[in-house]
Structure 1
Amino acid sequence: MLVFSLTELCLSPKVSMLSRIHPLTRCSYSSAVTATSSFYDIIIIGGGMVGNAMACSLGLSEYLKSKKILVLDSAEIKAPTKNSPYGYRVTAVAPHSVLLFQKLGIWNDLVDLRVKRVDRLQVLDSCSHSSIRFAQPDPCNEVAHMIENNAIIGFLANRIKTSCPNVTIRTKVKVVDCRTPSGLDEFATVALDNGTKLQTSLIIGADGARSMVRDMLDFKYTSWGYGQSAVVANLRVQAMENNCVAWERFTPSGPVALLPLTENMSSVTWTTSAEHAEKLLSLPPEEFVNELNDFLTTDIHQNSITNQFLSLTGQVLKGVFPVSEKPKLTFPTVISLYEGTRARFPLAFGHTYSYVVPRAALIGDAAHRIHPLAGQGVNLGWSDVKILLSCLEQCVIDGGDLGSLTYLSDYDTQGQRRNVPVQVACDWLNRLYLTSNTPLILIRSLGPYRLPDINNLSNALNMATTLTVSHSWQ
């Protein structure tokens, strides 16, 4: 889903401030539980893009290389090849996440497989002539890279297998229970469906928005649905500029986004009502393509009062600032649908009041679920990984207990200060752009209508804003 990151927001929500060393084990990578020891220093429940990034980061850390780490994943890892068809689960990896992948040693592998560079994002409002262009101040820098989820997971798992001898990955296993003590005098426990019982100093829940770990450990969690669904699909398109531009159009039913995958292929994320989403899934491919092309270009929702005011404002600004005329913006033309790539996902907001309890921490969607309209999606999860890693490394340096709130609360505070403002902004933007109220359309249109054309202010905005375009479903 299309996302532009607001990480530079300075809001700081009030967050409550709430080791054993074991011999190295040889790395194993299996789909059956065969552990000879029931104890692991850290157990990560949930693989995926965030859980495997956490495991890889821990395994490569000089401070944690003596710790036994276990990853439990219910799914099987299948990395794509160059000849594999593109899947519909794709993510736009932000520049700061690229740095993480470079540090973990998987970036070159991803590039060698297939990665699509996104040079800029063009955002339009279907209710007015307002638009805004996001790009890096240096045109040599990208705003994102489009990458398949399975490729990220596959290369992370392979890196763990080859370079992290203290990390064990077990796939196709099911966790049926996990418990944490009230203090540090006991270990946390994890039970599997085959009867295996494990003990650990720290459970890390990375099992997604419907987190079983979060529920079993009674984390306080608030959530609400948006009454919207996102329909995703892969499309054959005819685009200009080598298809290196991501497009988003806000409509009264939700945004529709086109994200480039190759020079002639894009991924669409079409946010709409749950009922309309069901209809879109049932349409024949030709009808789906026709309806999407119409949705991207129709002027049926244009607000004449807003457009008249914007035109007048533009004339006034010309006498004050050096303003250049905007070029005519044209969406790529959708030619056809790649069969078997359509899917539908419900959208919701979710927030865990605290990401930690003694001997447990949540990361990624297990801790925070964000509307993909204007958030960071999985990129926030990768930020969690970096923050939690730093806190655990400090714990080892100090000789502390990995499950102690002395260190876990630092992760909670830093993570919430980063994530909560973005979640709130995403929720607010979704509500703002769903309205057809003329005064609100005017308010949301005024800034984008002329700001990108004012060079100094535009450069300042671009430097202050890290842009991410992403849709990912764990």
Structure 2
Amino acid sequence: MNRLPTSSYDIIIVGAGIVGATLACALAQTTSLRIALIDAKAITPASWPEDSYDYRVSAISLASQRIFQALQVWPNIIAKRIGPFTTMYVWNDTTNDTIQFASADISEPCLGHIIENSAIHASLVKQVSQHSQIELLSPVNLATIQETPEYIDLHTIDAHILRTKLLIAADGARSWVRKQIGIETQSSQDQQTAIVTTVQTEYPHQHTAWQRFLPTGPLAFLPLADQQHCSIVWSLPTIPDAQRILSLDDSTFAQQLGNAFALRLGKILSVEKRFAFPLQRHLAKTYIKPRIALIGDAAHTIHPLAGQGVNLGLLDASALYDVLDNALKNNRDFASFATLRRYERWRKGDNLLMFKAMEWFNTLFRSQNPMLKTIRQRGITLANEISWLKNSFMRHAMGLQKDLPSLARPKVHGIL
């Protein structure tokens, strides 16, 4: 019987997106591990499209910015396009309950940056290419996973085996790895769908992230680098609702969007191509198995109303890096279940807290229930009157909480 050709690695990361590429760069920066970063799509260091906006954006927190700075990726990102925002303004459509968050209140230059995903990913792929110990394999189509006590084998559809001591799933919300290894998820059951696009507004956004809670769901205007361009996320309760909005011509869509936003930034002058995607939210019941770990959306997805999804994934990647690096420095098996359990204990609780908080805020601000409306009004009044409460929320959203991974911590005397 002929043996299948086999390539061996210390770590294989399935999913070469933002979170997977970040972990690969972190490991390559301080360890000698041989890493395979694989993806089903073709990943190339393509030129970044300066003449058009990517409809997929992320609200990058200060903690995530520090991670990119530590990996020497941040200068390449800011050389492209970023939209710093200093204020976040949130209000309800029926009672005009409002709350405003300002970076000046906590002595920070900004609350975060709205950055196109393609700009972040292009910068990470460039950094990956500078590390000889990372092998970027794409496109690779996987067929099966074979788990053994000593290693994990990934069988490709073209009859090749990729063997690794540790397998990391960073392959997104519909993770193929997670399904193959039988990790179950707790999922939301509604049909909420988001429409995303880039719009040009009549008035400048003033470096402010705007969010209005409608009975149908939140509507966000996120400030891009140009003062009169915003990325919008319009959450709708069902797929048919989203399809109806998608079917509108640009002029009608712009008018309805402007009205839904109460014309806070004047008329919508132009609209780029619109996209819709389901707001699937889930939590993996476990993040680990022997020699396997889940990170990012493979482990959890949350409602996008606070823009925290990618930030949580980057903290996962940074925490797992710390755990693996510590094991190597102390001559322990970096792929052991005990090592991976440290990662799960570190991150699972924080991610669960954020998941529940976003579900609660989504329900609280959408609900027309008189009791919940009263709770909402009193809660907003309380937050506006008690500055430490509001500031504490801001700090957590910016990734300034305690127990941060090393890459996300502030520099001290120029050293992380």
Q: Could you state the TM-score of these two structures normalised by the residue count of structure 1?
A: 0.79
Report the equivalent of 2:209: 246
Report the equivalent of 1:200: 164
Paired residues of 1:125 and 1:251 also in contact (CA < 8 A): yes
Following superposition, the deviation at residue 260 of structure 1 comes to 0.8
Q: Deviations over 1:117-139 (max 9, x none)?
A: 11111000112121001122245
Q: Does 1:51 align with 2:20?
A: yes
Distance in 2, matches of 1:386 and 1:290, equals 43
Report the equivalent of 1:237: 201
SS at match of 1:432: helix
Following superposition, the deviation at residue 335 of structure 1 comes to 2.4
Paired residues of 1:359 and 1:402 also in contact (CA < 8 A): no
Distance in 1, matches of 2:199 and 2:18, equals 24
Distance in 2, matches of 1:247 and 1:352, equals 31
- Any stretches of 5+ residues in structure 1 without a counterpart? 1-35, 298-329, 470-474
Report the equivalent of 1:28: none
Report the equivalent of 1:335: 268
Distance in 2, matches of 1:80 and 1:132, equals 40
Q: Does 1:121 align with 2:88?
A: yes
Following superposition, the deviation at residue 348 of structure 1 comes to 2.1
Name which of 60, 67, 72 aligns with 2:29.
60
Q: Which has the higher contact order (CA 8 A, sep 6+)?
A: 1
Report the equivalent of 1:276: 241
Following superposition, the deviation at residue 464 of structure 1 comes to 4.6
Name which of 238, 242, 252 aligns with 1:287.
252
Distance in 2, matches of 1:225 and 1:466, equals 31
Distance in 2, matches of 1:86 and 1:123, equals 25
Name which of 330, 338, 358 aligns with 1:406.
338
Following superposition, the deviation at residue 463 of structure 1 comes to 4.1
Correspondences of 1:142-291 after superposition (within 5 Å)? 142-162=110-130, 164-181=131-148, 183=149, 186-240=150-204, 243-261=206-224, 262-273=226-237, 274-291=239-256
Paired residues of 1:179 and 1:217 also in contact (CA < 8 A): no
Distance in 1, matches of 2:307 and 2:25, equals 25
Q: Deviations over 1:184-220 (max 9, x none)?
A: xx21111112211111000000000000000111113
Distance in 2, matches of 1:294 and 1:371, equals 23
Following superposition, the deviation at residue 248 of structure 1 comes to 0.3
Paired residues of 1:435 and 1:441 also in contact (CA < 8 A): yes
Following superposition, the deviation at residue 37 of structure 1 comes to 6.0
Paired residues of 2:308 and 2:397 also in contact (CA < 8 A): yes
Report the equivalent of 2:387: 458
- Any stretches of 5+ residues in structure 2 without a counterpart? 399-416
Name which of 376, 380, 386 aligns with 2:318.
386
Distance in 2, matches of 1:433 and 1:464, equals 17
Distance in 2, matches of 1:48 and 1:336, equals 33
Paired residues of 1:73 and 1:171 also in contact (CA < 8 A): yes
Distance in 1, matches of 2:59 and 2:240, equals 27
CA 1:188–1:140: 2 relative to 1, 3 Å? closer
SS at match of 1:172: coil
Q: Superposition RMSD on alpha carbons, in Å?
A: 1.9
Q: Deviations over 1:15-41 (max 9, x none)?
A: xxxxxxxxxxxxxxxxxxxxx961100
Following superposition, the deviation at residue 466 of structure 1 comes to 2.8
Following superposition, the deviation at residue 398 of structure 1 comes to 2.3
Paired residues of 2:92 and 2:214 also in contact (CA < 8 A): yes
Distance in 2, matches of 1:438 and 1:215, equals 41
Paired residues of 1:134 and 1:467 also in contact (CA < 8 A): no
Paired residues of 1:77 and 1:154 also in contact (CA < 8 A): no
Paired residues of 1:375 and 1:422 also in contact (CA < 8 A): no
Distance in 2, matches of 1:378 and 1:371, equals 12
Report the equivalent of 1:369: 301
Distance in 1, matches of 2:267 and 2:143, equals 45
Paired residues of 2:6 and 2:161 also in contact (CA < 8 A): no
Name which of 72, 75, 93 aligns with 2:38.
72
Deviating 4+ runs (over 4 angstroms) = none
SS at match of 2:79: helix
Distance in 2, matches of 1:414 and 1:406, equals 13
Distance in 1, matches of 2:172 and 2:57, equals 16
Report the equivalent of 2:407: none
Following superposition, the deviation at residue 257 of structure 1 comes to 0.4
Q: Could you state the TM-score of these two structures normalised by the residue count of structure 2?
A: 0.89
Name which of 275, 285, 290 aligns with 1:358.
290
Following superposition, the deviation at residue 381 of structure 1 comes to 0.2
Deviates more, 1:425-434 or 1:287-296: 425-434
CA 1:445–1:460: 2 relative to 1, 3 Å? closer
Paired residues of 2:202 and 2:269 also in contact (CA < 8 A): no
Distance in 1, matches of 2:117 and 2:73, equals 13
CA 1:213–1:334: 2 relative to 1, 3 Å? farther
Q: Does 1:433 align with 2:365?
A: yes
Whose Rg is larger? 1
Q: Deviations over 1:163-197 (max 9, x none)?
A: x221111122211212322x3xx211111122111
Deviates more, 1:457-466 or 1:142-151: 457-466
Report the equivalent of 1:311: none
Paired residues of 2:48 and 2:122 also in contact (CA < 8 A): no
Query: What amino acid maps onto 2:133 in structure 1?
Result: N
Paired residues of 1:143 and 1:467 also in contact (CA < 8 A): no
Report the equivalent of 1:42: 11
